[in-house]
Structure 1
Amino acid sequence: MAEAPLVLITGASSGIGQALAWRYYQAGYRLALVARRTELIQVWAQAQGMDASRYAIYGADVSDRDQTIAACAQCLQQQGLPDVVVANAGVSYGIDTAEREDLEVLAQTYATNVIGMAATFHAFVRPMQARGSGKLVGIASVAGIRGLPGHGAYCASKAAVISYCESLRVELQRSGVQVITICPGFVATPLTRENRYGMPFLMQPEAFADKAYAVIGKARSYAVIPWQMAWVARLLRCLPNALYDRALANRPRKHRHRERVDAMPGQDPRKP
């Protein structure tokens, strides 16, 4: 009897990552779940009544490339080569470039959202090429299409994710390895909970996971979810700078890392 397919998901302890894990589990996949907060995944998996033989949990801070590579190597050793790898882990902080400490926030955002994604894919590229199949999925964001006030770190990192995934897709196009870029709009997760501006077409994580699962299954190279945000993204791309600047002139800024309600003194506010 053939072994069930395997999906590896980073940032699997909450939000989109957790919803995707459940969607793939329901579809019969084995799971390799990567996150810093492994105990939360274990509690959640047990509460869902998941079969312990169908999942494994790997602890890693995705901003630490060595930890990430080690977790992926463990997956290869214990569960084998995944059919799908979803680099989902991400952080979102507002920044003020005039504040020296926020340069560190920018660096941390890139370390998780961009370098962490590349480190996640790193362990699987050569084995997938040798096998001639596999899907590498990068979770980007509509925020990567145009810059938003106070949101320079996140917007820039997600723009980098979009370009990085496109580069990798072209590099691997003849190998049988598919690279898929998914740009969520607003999804109700810990990363968006404290936003102080309107979030049109807000989705629940489960609804997003259903649509993302379908996109990955069809191996679409690029998708914006939900479809309404795809039209918003097209409009943003072609809007002249003068009109764009005027439209966002009074938009509230993203909370800086010290302003977030959940960033208490001595507490790491990162969510993945």
Structure 2
Amino acid sequence: MRKLVFITGASSGIGQALAWRCYQAGYDLALVARRVHEMQQWAEAHRLDAARYRLYAADVADVPSIVAAGQACLAQQGLPDVVVANAGISIGMDTAQHEDLAVMARTFAVNNTGLAATFHPFIAPMRLRGSGRLVGVASVAGIRGLPGHGAYCASKAGVISYCESLRGELRGSGVRVVTLAPGYIKTPLTQQNRYPMPFLMPAPVFAERALKAIEAGVSYRVIPWQMGVAAKLLRLLPDALFDRLLAGRPRKHRVSSL
């Protein structure tokens, strides 16, 4: 019997690359995004077997919407072996600008509450079964705050801490919580960045390494590993030196500058 993976944010980028890699590895797919038409076009372009995938329309920022998608997956395809909470947004913000407070609220709604809501329908049945993988996609940006990236960095730090908390809650249940922290991955999300992106990795390469980490059940993995080393070194820097290093660094686009 084939395994089943449930992936949010599957219409592009990391989510789409991971969906394809999982399909190649023999998984059935439960794919979730707001843009179902784009997922359908992608599935047809890749000639996916219609018996091996289902598409679910949901906005992870809308809790009833993403919970309903999870419940529909349980009813139509059964309990997944792997749930990947991948959907996320990355927008620059300036706290001095009142309209950017709404950007922060939306970022947290998608990247944090949406992640927990994605896991919610599956935790109790996975506990009952005694197995499963809950995968939270964080970022190396969650390791240290970057100017102009306050909402994104804070949200991804929240993903890391949340998944660590959930891992402790599920200890001994047979359900593994895996935190993936991508560095710079070549996707539509990063193509408009206006600053250097060291160790930029193609999405298919990331997907290959991510699936290995998921199947191994590791608790935390930075991909690529070089970014993990760089992030740890930045974490060790005294605040004064860290601040000087980032002075004048180009910032992520705000909504008004996209």
Q: Verify: 1:230 aligned to 2:221, yes or no.
A: no
Cα distance in 2 between the residues matched to 1:235 and 1:153: 22
Give the TM-score, by structure 1 length.
0.94
Moved over 2 A (4+): none
Partner of residue 73, structure 2: 75
For residues 186-228 of structure 1, give each alpha carbon's deviation from its aligned partner in whole angstroms, at most 9, with x where no partner exists: 0111111111000000011101000001111111100000011
In structure 1, the partner of 2:11 is 13
Question: How many residues align structurally?
Answer: 258
CA–CA distance in 2 between the matches of 1:123 and 1:177? 14
Q: Which amino acid aligns with 1:248?
A: L
- RMSD in angstroms over aligned alpha carbons? 0.5
Q: Could you say which residue in structure 2 is the equivalent of 1:264?
A: none
Are 1:257 and 2:255 counterparts? yes
Partner secondary structure for residue 193 of structure 2: coil
What are the ranges of 5 or more consecutive residues in structure 1 without an aligned counterpart? 261-272
Per-residue CA shift, 1:6-34, capped at 9, x if unaligned?
Answer: 00000000000000000000000000000
Q: Does 1:245 align with 2:243?
A: yes
Q: Does 1:152 align with 2:134?
A: no
Q: What residue in structure 2 maps to residue 54 of structure 1?
A: 52
Match of 1:258, SS state, is helix
Aligned to 1:193: 191
1:26-65 paired onto structure 2 within 5 Å? 26-65=24-63
Task: State how far apart, in whole Å, the 2-side matches of 1:207 and 1:53 are.
Answer: 27
Distance 2:38 2:208 in 1: 22
Structure 1 residue identity aligned to 2:242: Y
The aligned counterpart of 1:167 is: 165
Could you say what secondary structure the match of 2:257 adopts? Answer: coil
Whole-angstrom distance in 2 between the partners of 1:197 and 1:154: 16
Cα distance in 2 for residues equivalent to 1:82 and 1:11: 16
Residue 139 of structure 2 is aligned with which of 134, 138, 141? Answer: 141
1:258 maps to a residue whose letter is S
Equivalent AA in structure 1 for residue 67 of structure 2: I
